[in-house]
Copies of this chain bind each other. A is one copy, B any other.
Amino acid sequence: MTRVGIINVTGYAGSELARILHNHPDVDLVSVTGRSAAGKQLSEVYPHLREASMTITPEIEESVDLVFSALPHAASAEVLKSFIDDGVPAVDISADFRLKDLPTYESWYKVDHPCPNYIETAVYGVPELHRSEIKQTKLVANPGCFPTGTVLALAPAVQAGIVESHVISDCKSGVSGAGRSAKLEYGFSELNDNFSAYALSGHRHEPEMSQELSALSSDGDVNVTFVPHLAPMTRGILGTHYAKLSKDVSQADVDAIYRDFYADEPFAHVVPTPPSTKQTWGSNDCLIYATIKEDAGTLVAVSALDNLGKGAASAGVQNMNVMLGFEETAGLEALPVYP
């Protein structure tokens, strides 16, 4: 069994990793860390993890064969550095190694990068786009929750060259995307039965979207207008994406482009009816639906995923599976929980 650790297990992404890894057939979760919760049992912080409980320590205490970091950006690279130096494979849930352009990273995150030299070796963790590179790297930058859905929704169209280079990403997220934090603005009474747009002046996930879609485009950079929204639900991201068609394509053409692009994918599914977020609850699925508005010459592509699943933790497990040569679906077989 492969020995695995989770740095910062106490956030929602960290706890979701612990939940999934507990039943993974190829790994043993041997060490979990947390700062304020150090010394506590995992089940004290998360009673649902009773069966997976272990002592939370300040640092990874066992030697591990792979490490996940669910720390915030900057803190994550700082802690991962020594693991990477030691050749321990790492999956970084944070944003630290996602952006290939250092100035872009530093201007959006307003920090100096703790180990910029590793940016180049990191692979952006969307197996649907970078599977072969993930197999060969020791450092995967797990993508942001919003970019995962946006990139998967638009990648087939951008690669096929059927849309113009300005796209709109209107994403609606459940509140768990904001993390496990004691902030008034994420209080139940503030958010229940309420809906709003935020980050209208720009969101850090925008450059990730542009980077990945631009890399697929043969027509130059893709500019993304991204507006995230907060929906009164716990999990789930629904992204609705709009792009002007640059070619005269039919719905049948679009269907074929999308179907072919994801033909062999275990988790990215082109679906026959508009998906809803709850169809992915607790799973690693990303559901994609693309349609043409003919009168407007516009592609509308919708994606649905669980922000803590394919948007964070289970995507990390999928990346680990690819890196370590496990069955790609190992530990990720549980079907979504509905209703």
Contact = CB atoms under 8 A, between A and B. Distances in A.
A296 B22 CA distance: 43
Given A192-B234, A238-B229, A293-B225, A335 B49 contact: yes
Interface in A249-301: 269, 271, 273-283, 287, 289, 291, 293, 295-296, 298, 300
Contact of A275 (B47, B186, B201): B47
Given A23-B335, A195-B233, A234-B192, A282 B282 contact: yes
Interface stretch (A65-73, A86-94, A99-107, A165-173): A165-173
Contacts of A298: 166, 168, 225
For the complex formed by this chain, how many copies does it contain in all? 4
A312 to B, nearest CB: 13
Interface in A48-85: 48-52
B183 A182 contact: yes
Interface residues of A, number: 83
A242 B334 CA distance: 38
A291 B166 CA distance: 18
A236 interface: yes
B194 A296 contact: no
A235 B232 CA distance: 12
A289 B197 CA distance: 10
Contact of A201 (B175, B233, B291): B291
Contacts of A197: 238, 240, 274, 302
Contacts of A335: 19, 22-23, 48-49, 51-52
B180 A189 contact: yes
A188 interface: yes
A269 B242 CA distance: 28
Q: Which of A51, A187, A279, A289: most chain B Cβ within 10 A?
A: A187
A163 to B, nearest CB: 14
A339 interface: yes
Contact of A188 (B187, B236, B280, B334): B187
Given A193-B281, A201-B291, A232-B233, 10 more contacts: A47-B271, A48-B280, A170-B170, A174-B195, A176-B339, A181-B184, A182-B184, A186-B188, A190-B339, A194-B236
